[in-house]
Chains A and B, each alone.
Chain A
Amino acid sequence: MISSGRKYLTAGLLSWQDCLAYRANAAIWALVDGCGSMVMALIWLSVFRDRGEIGGYSLNQMITYYLVASAVSLLTTPHMEYNIIWEIRQGLLSGYLTRPADRYTMHIVSETVWQVMKFLMFLPSYLVVCWFLRRYIIITLTPLNLLFFCSAVLLAYLINCGMKMLLGSVAFWVTETRGLFQVLECLWGLLSGEILPLSLLPIWLTVIGGFLPFKYVVWFPTELFLDRVPVQEAVLGLGLQVCWAVVLLVVSRLVWMRGLAVYEGVGG
């Protein structure tokens, strides 16, 4: 058990080396992913000018919402689905399957490392923006809140990993998946709360979103940070997050195994 853990640790360190070589690329992707939220925060800034609150958010809350949401979204959104389809399409997977390391786990490990790299490259520009907007940032974190927030972020990452692995596994059956990815990414943006706080969305969208895991990856952690969630609801939300994470990881794992069987059956 321990030795197999070390195997993935070593693999993680190796991908860190790889990431270092591509840090310019990481910076670009961080900017591409994070820039939209910053711009939207600025738009709110101009809109609020003469208003005390909009949709239950004060100006400070709104600005903080976007700043936190962008960081959470960047940190918890891996993109291994593209790596998976690449490996399957190029037939690289066959080579990896002969190695004594589980490819499913490896995808999560190496993508996690890449996430950290991307976040580090994002940090400088993020901090500059935060410094300029420092007047509007409110931090009312109690230790309990902080604990809630951190666990929520971690769980959000696991939920996302499950979703992305599931999405990537589709490539075992469907050859052209990029269009699908694009559509889902769009829904993700809207229903996760990255574009707007979910409470501002039209009611019917909020209702639909309630049945989906998306709201737990950005909106929920961010609201926890803003201290806008009562303790009871927070605990309930964390519980639901755990459920989603477990369900998605298990389902994606099953689908992955099923897909592998298909892949090996065809002969890759």
Chain B
Amino acid sequence: MRYRKTATAGKPTSKPMWKPAFAPLLKYPRLAFRSAGLCLSREMQYRLHFWGNTFAGVLWTGMYLVFIEVILSHTGSIAGWDRPAMYVLYGTYMILEAVAGMIIMPNMIKLTEYVRTGELDLLLTKPIDTQFYLSVRHWEFAGTGRALIGLTAVAYGLKHTLASGGGGSVLPSPALHPATLASPAILSWLSYLVSLVAAFLLLYALWLLSVLIIFWVIKAEGLGYLFVPIMQIARYPISAYPPLLQAAFRTVLPLAFVAAAPSSALLGRATPAGALVSLVVAGLFLLISRAGWLFALRHYSSASS
């Protein structure tokens, strides 16, 4: 085994010269995609489960729509968001919920399991950033279909906003006016997308923070689900909540940046700068969650047995 001799030299294996400097970074997306593929093939083994979950996801979505519709049928708007605007908001929330259910939630649930069972030990010995690996390892596609319903709801709401020329208490948006469909419209779509991505990252950071408790309270199997009801707060307009909570949702628990911020951008209720604010908030919470993760890991490696 001549080949082995070089590897046993006790030094890091030298890489071939031609590899570009960013090559090691490429392994991260590759790993994420590979995991996604594996999870999909695993999920396909349990078809009944898959379709049951897909159907249930659609049903839940419809149910909260009934709630919103009943309110709107009596009042016409919720906290200044009329029916089309509510559809954009709810659709946006649904897209985020579907994506979070696909990649964030399964991984966070697994994380609590890894810590409880000590399987984290094995992951810690892998030459890869453990937080990253733990965050992209498990995918679940059963609920992802909801994103399509969400998209449809957004399109529906947007169409009716345009039809009524803004309508209700929503400020008519020049960006969305058919006459000026050129760059401003693109700008509001762009800020929608940017704040949507920011919202996703923010959800990830908050969910991770909520799950880190497992490092201290081991006997909490349900911890991975703790964030689910918290996230659901973002389904409704933030301005519908009492002032004290509103303040909290704009600062310490920034759920205002989840569904409301992208929706406002799309409806022309916020300036494109709002999207940048979303990004900053998401970045800040990503940093906080990273610090929290490192802190928890230090606790783990000094306390676990």
Partner-B contacts on A (CB < 8 A): 21-22, 24-25, 28-29, 31-32, 35-36, 39-40, 42-47, 51, 54-55, 132, 174, 176, 178-180, 182-183, 185-187, 189-190, 195-196, 200-202
Contacts and interface: CB of A to CB of B under 8 A. Distances in A.
Interface of B: 46, 48-53, 55-56, 59-60, 63-64, 66-67, 70-71, 74-75, 78-79, 217, 219-223, 225-226, 228-230, 232-233, 235-236, 239-242, 245
Contacts of B232: 35-36, 39
A43 B71 CA distance: 9
Contacts of B70: 55, 196, 200-201
B63 A39 contact: no
Contacts of B78: 43, 46-47
> Counting chain A CB atoms within 10 Å of each CB, which of B55, B219, B222 scores highest?
B222
A190 B59 CA distance: 10
A169 B201 CA distance: 41
B228 A32 contact: yes
Contacts of B59: 183, 186-187
A185 B55 CA distance: 12
A42 B75 CA distance: 15
Contacts of B220: 22, 24-25, 28
Given A179-B53, A183-B59, 6 more contacts: A25-B221, A42-B245, A46-B78, A179-B50, A183-B52, A201-B70
Nearest to A190: B63
Contacts of B53: 178-179, 182
Contacts of A182: 52-53, 55-56
Contacts of A183: 52, 55-56, 59
Contact of A196 (B50, B60, B66, B233): B66
B66 A195 contact: yes
Contacts of B233: 39
B26 to A, nearest CB: 37
A39 B71 CA distance: 14
B241 A46 contact: yes
Q: What are the 8 tightest A-B residue pairs by CB atom distance, in nearest-first order?
A: A179-B52, A35-B229, A182-B56, A46-B240, A176-B48, A28-B222, A186-B59, A24-B220
